[in-house]
Amino acid sequence: MAQDTRSVSPTVRVRNLVRRFTLKGVLNGVDLDIQRGEFVALLGRSGSGKSTLLRALADLDREATGSGELLVPEKLSVVFQDARLLPWKRVLDNVVLGLEGGEVRERGRKALAEVELGGRENSWPYELSGGEQQRVALARSLVRQPELLLADEPFGALDALTRIRMHILLRRLSEVHNPAVLLVTHDVDEAIELADRVVVLDDGKIAADIAVNLPQEGRGRHARALDLRRQL
């Protein structure tokens, strides 16, 4: 029987990725695999090249030059720090933008309910809070059923309490829909709380790659989180 290679090949495969802008090298030989359904957090100092790597994966890096091997699925969605909703379209229209088919609006409604925005289909983006707008952006991504969700500091502009709510929501959605996730963040706690694996970008390369496996609760959880912080 022919082997189904798709079941063993990773969702993302990056080898020796180099990216530079006119004056400056940013990525200097990045190697990274992300497996199906894996939730990976990409940590790194501001300016370390996290967004450059994410943009390379999303094929949004026209300004950079470089080389290397890059394999990513076609079905990917990107969420940015700002929701980037079209202000002249209502919430549901933003969610299903560009999609076609009879049942699309129903799927959009369902996605909005999943991000706890059922009933806000006809609101305008300006009527929503920052956290609600990010939830619309998440719904817009999920309704496309991505195999890979790329998120670039998606909660960076939100207050701490809203952020915790978004963490719970994103983790739950990732378990239900099971895309591979690459979450870019500079927040160590966020990375440890959400991800199965934390990779650290430093000096243009992956400097650390750590499995998280936090216990669900109890004192062991706290000890493990502290232990992980020491390794970063």
Length of the chain: 232
Q: Rule CB under 6 A: which residues touch ligand ADP?
A: 21, 26, 44, 46-52, 63
Measure the CA–CA gap between 157 and 79, rounded to whole angstroms: 13
Among residues 19 and 120, whose Cβ is nearest to ligand ADP?
19
CA distance to 87, 91, 115, 140, per residue, from 125 (Å): 6, 6, 15, 13
Among residues 51 and 77, whose Cβ is nearest to ligand ADP?
51
Among residues 41 and 173, whose Cβ is nearest to ligand ADP?
41
Measure the CA–CA gap between 198 and 209, rounded to whole angstroms: 6
Among residues 65 and 145, whose Cβ is nearest to ligand ADP?
65
Smallest separation (angstroms) from ligand ADP to the CB of 69: 20
Q: Residue 26 binds which entry of ligand ADP, Mg ion, none, with Cβ cut-offs from 5 to 8 Å by kind?
A: ligand ADP
Smallest separation (angstroms) from Mg ion to the CB of 141: 18
Residue 45 in contact with residue 202, Cβ under 8 Å? yes
What phi-psi label fits residue 37: left (phi over 0), alpha (psi between -120 and 50 degrees) or beta? left
Smallest separation (angstroms) from Mg ion to the CB of 43: 12
Beta strands in 65-173 (DSSP E): 65-71, 76-79, 148-152
User: 220: how many CB neighbours lie within 10 A of its CB?
Assistant: 11
Does the footprint of Mg ion cover residue 185 (CB under 5 A)? no
Measure the CA–CA gap between 19 and 149, rounded to whole angstroms: 21
Measure the CA–CA gap between 97 and 84, rounded to whole angstroms: 12
Measure the CA–CA gap between 51 and 49, rounded to whole angstroms: 6
Which of 48, 51, 94, 185 contacts Mg ion by CB under 5 A? Answer: 51
Total residues contacting Mg ion by CB under 5 A comes to 2
What is the DSSP-derived secondary structure letter of residue 72? -
Handedness of CA 204, 45, 59, 39 (dihedral sign): positive
Q: Which stretch binds Mg ion (CB under 5 A): 47-55, 62-70, 137-145, 169-177?
A: 47-55
Smallest separation (angstroms) from Mg ion to the CB of 152: 6
Q: Residue 133 binds which entry of Mg ion, ligand ADP, none, with Cβ cut-offs from 5 to 8 Å by kind?
A: none
Smallest separation (angstroms) from ligand ADP to the CB of 4: 36
Q: Which residue is nearest to Mg ion (CB)?
A: 51
Q: Residue 209 binds which entry of ligand ADP, Mg ion, none, with Cβ cut-offs from 5 to 8 Å by kind?
A: none
Residue numbers of the site for Mg ion (CB under 5 A)?
A: 50-51
